[in-house]
Every structure is written in structure tokens, then in C-alpha cells.
Structure 1
Amino acid sequence: MITDSQLYSLAIFLGAAAMLMIVLYHFLEVNAQDDKGLETKLTSEKAGVGAVKPAVNHPVVTPVGGAGDL
């Protein structure tokens, strides 16, 4: 069975390791160079996936003689 002091040491070690991994990840992400082969020929910045809804021409329907018309 694990003792309280062993559990405490394990928690401190894993917490410190997690923080070091986070700092390392951010360091690598900030210093990463953009890959020129991944550039796309977008016509505008809003042409990406999910950025803009496609234009759909729906006819305008106005309700006539509903229950709320008084």
C-alpha cells in the first residue's frame, strides 16, 4: 500500500512534470516556424471552413391572418 508521504511525493513530482510540459509546449509553439507548404489560396480571411455561412436565397414569407393578428 502507498503511504501518505509517498503519495505526497508522487503528487509533487507529477504536478511539476505537468507544469514543465506545459512550459515546454508553449516554448515550442511560440518558436515554431510556419510551414510554407500548408498555405492555401483563400480569397479572403473569411473564406475558411465554418467562418461564414453560405448565402442561401430563401423567399420572404409573411404570415397572413394568423391567430396573433387582431
Structure 2
Amino acid sequence: MISDDDLFSLAIFLGSVAMLLIVLYHFLEINAKTEAEPSPDSTTDTAASKKIPVGADPVAFTPGAAVASKVKPR
């Protein structure tokens, strides 16, 4: 059977290894090179591709809101 001293030593060792792996993971994650991100000029999400009406606020415009604004309340 495992003694209290052996269990204590095992717990300290495994805890230390876990903390070192966590620190290593964060170090590698912070210093990782990201893939080339597309520049904003080359994206295809433009107002013309989304067919937003001229003069509409692209943030506030939704097709459902346009339909709801045409319905007259009773």
C-alpha cells in the first residue's frame, strides 16, 4: 500500500508538472504566429454584396425591420 509520504511526494510532483505545462502552454500560445489574415480590402462582405439599400445604416438595417416598418399599426 502507498504510504502518506509517497502520496505527498506524488501529489507535489504531479502538481508541479501540471503548473509547468500550463505555463508552457500559455507561453507557446502567446508567441504563436497566426495564419495570414485577409486584409480588409480583399474581403467580399461589402454593401453591394449584401444588397443593402442606398442610404440605409448597414449596422441597423435588417430585412425584418424593413418589412415591419411598412406594416401600419391599427
TM-score bucket (shorter structure): 0.5 to 0.7
TM-score by length of 1: 0.55
The answer for the alignment partner of 2:28 in structure 1 is 28
- What is the aligned partner in structure 1 of residue 5 from structure 2? 5
Question: 1:34 and 1:3, CA in 2 relative to 1: closer, same or farther beyond 3 A?
Answer: same
More relative contact order, 1 or 2 (CA 8 Å, 6+ apart): 2
Give identity over the alignment, percent: 53
**Secondary structure of residue in 2 paired with 1:57:** helix
Please state whether the residue corresponding to 1:35 is helix, strand or coil: coil
Give TM-score, length-normalised by structure 2.
0.52
Question: Which digits, 9 at most, give the CA deviation of each residue in 1:5-63, with x for residues without a partner?
Answer: 01000000000000000100010011111111xx354749xxxxxxxxxx462757x8x
What count of residue pairs does the alignment treat as equivalent? 51
2-structure distance, mates of 1:42, 1:3: 66
Q: 1:21 to 1:35 in 2, by over 3 A?
A: same
What is the Cα-based RMSD across aligned positions, in Å?
A: 2.8
Match of 1:14 in 2: 14
* Amino acid paired to 1:24: L
Secondary structure at the aligned position of 2:2 is classed as coil
**Secondary structure at the residue paired with 2:11?**
helix
Q: Give the ranges of 4+ consecutive aligned residues of structure 1 lying more than 3 Å apart after TM superposition.
A: 39-44
